Amino acid sequence: MAMASNKTQCFKCKIEKITYPCKGCSKEFCLIHLTEHQQILNEELNKITNDYNEFKPKINEQKEQSHNYSVIKKINQWEINRIERTRQQAQQYRELVIKSSAPLTVINDIEIKFNDLSEQIKQIHKENIFNEINLNYLTDQLKKMIQELNNPPNISIALDSQSQVDEILLIISRKYRWDRWRQIAITVAGGNDQGQKLNQLNGPQGIFIDKNKNIFIADLWNHRIVGWKCGAKEGQIIAGGNGKGNGMGQLNEPSDVIVDQQNHSIIIADSENKRVIRWFNQNQQILIKNIDCWGLTMDKHGFLYVSDWKNNKVRRWKMGEYGNDGIVVAGGNGKGYQLNQLYGPTFIFVDENQSIYVSDTYNHRVMKWEKDAKQGIVVAGGNDHGENLNQLFHPRGVVVDHLGQIYVADCMNHRVVRWCEGKSEGEIVVGRNKRRNQLNRSKGPMGLSFDDEGNLYVADFNYHRIESFKIIL
């Protein structure tokens, strides 16, 4: 019987020998070539080790550069920007102080207002249509002009308690910056008859003004949101504009729009589709479904507020938590005129303390609901509908300035009025003229907003335009 052979062929030399397997490559090597194979592996390991050793300093170098250059560079740029912003703010303050304190400037401002009022008096004489409200207004304005002429503003500065750095606030006595607007409006969007061209609007509702004075308009019957850059002759379609419908690229009578500054998107009350929808470029996301939405606003904490006008309540959602029903923060106790009820809430405003101001349209009043309150208080109107100074008639847009003064688009009275909380009546800011094409009047004012300089913007629903009333400094 022949002996069994335990010899196999070496992978390297191809000769039948006693061989040994390499577990790494699963090949058989004789003793000589196994040693050679191991040496090759050692050389490869050394090369890999060297590569790792060469790479390690690069990590340290990047870490050092990242800390010493990139971050410092950003800090340097922040410093430059901060200095430039401070320089610009200081220059603005200087100019404002000069304007506010220069006797000739004050006189010129009063003269402008005087001329505006004189034109209104001439128009009243010409048309012979006037009443006690007109006469009381003219008398009141004359008293104010006399007071302004005899009492120039006092100016001082104070530290800004809300800032973490040494900011200053310019304080001008008698609320100088938010007091008066020129009565002759400037059309800043639309105004080219009713239509769907880019230089036209069709029933504008809510408006939003950004820091660059760009206007975002809920163009109701064109089923679109239009962005109108400051000074432009025509707008551009930001959302919708694809016909009336409920598709993701369509809108159906949008009633309000706001800009979410944190992610540079817009949020729309798509009223007839019963949804609140976010547009970012051409991408859409439905935030809230099955809601009879009308007005929108967002507070400084990112909470979104929506007026549910058919269900007579205002609801609030936390950012990113839109899947639930939200929290009722105003109304929600059925339709009615009691202090814990609303009837047709439309436009809304929220202040720094998260107090909510609601245009309670069919109750002809504006309600203020403080945070966590069980009922509201009447801060404007509430004396049935009418045109007296203690009344409103279907109020719509509402905004509150930094002095706590409440501005209301008094829609069916075709005017904008200002109320101070606790007062029994308001005062007319713009409006009054009965003649159709007068530039100092809106017919059916809806959306209402200020820009950062205090200029007043009004969505003129029936004349299909946005008007701007220049503040008088």
pLDDT tens digit string along 74-112?
888 888 888 887 888 788 777 766 655 555 556 777 787
**Is residue 4 scored above 60 in pLDDT?**
no
Distance CA 320, CA 304 (A): 10
**pLDDT single digits (tens) 6-17:** 788 888 898 888
Distance CA 239, CA 248 (A): 10
Distance CA 121, CA 141 (A): 12
Mean pLDDT of 267-275: 97
State whether the Cα torsion 190-407-107-101 is positive or negative.
Answer: negative
Question: What type of residue is 398?
Answer: V
Mean confidence (pLDDT) of the chain: 85
**Is residue 316 scored above 80 in pLDDT?**
yes
pLDDT confidence of residue 85: 79
The DSSP annotation for 59-120 comes to: HHHHHHHIIIIIHHHHHHHHHHHHHHHHHHHHHHHHHHHHHHH-HHHHHHHHHHHHHHHHHH
pLDDT confidence of residue 356: 97
Tokens describing residue 393: 């008639």
**pLDDT single digits (tens) 436-470:** 334 345 678 999 999 988 899 999 999 999 999 98
Helix (H/G/I), strand (E/B), else coil: 42: helix
Residue range(s) of every CATH 2.120.10.30 domain in the chain: 181-471
Mean pLDDT of 327-349: 96
Contact between 390 and 424 under an 8 Å Cβ cutoff? The reply is yes
**Is residue 277 scored above 90 in pLDDT?**
yes
In this structure, which topology does domain 181-471 adopt according to CATH? Answer: Neuraminidase (2.120.10)
pLDDT band at 317 (very low <50, low <70, confident <90, very high): very high
pLDDT confidence of residue 434: 44
pLDDT confidence of residue 196: 95
Strand extents, DSSP E, 309-443: 313-317, 327-331, 345-350, 356-360, 365-369, 377-381, 395-400, 405-410, 415-420, 427-431
pLDDT confidence of residue 97: 67
pLDDT confidence of residue 100: 56
Distance CA 445, CA 431 (A): 10
List alpha helices for 151-249, DSSP H.
none
**Is residue 473 scored above 60 in pLDDT?**
yes
The more confidently predicted of residues 95 and 343 is 343
Count CB-CB contacts under 10 A for residue 299.
17
Residue with tokens 């809430």: 345
Distance CA 316, CA 7 (A): 84
Contact between 205 and 461 under an 8 Å Cβ cutoff? The reply is yes
- Bridge partner residues of 367 (DSSP): 358, 378
Over pLDDT 90: what percentage of the chain? Answer: 48
Give pTM, 2 decimals: 0.64
**pLDDT single digits (tens) 37-67:** 889 888 888 888 888 888 778 777 766 665 5
Q: How far is CA 277 from the centre of its chain?
A: 15
Residue 293's region, left for phi above 0, alpha for psi from -120 to 50, else beta, is: beta
Residue with tokens 């990590």: 59
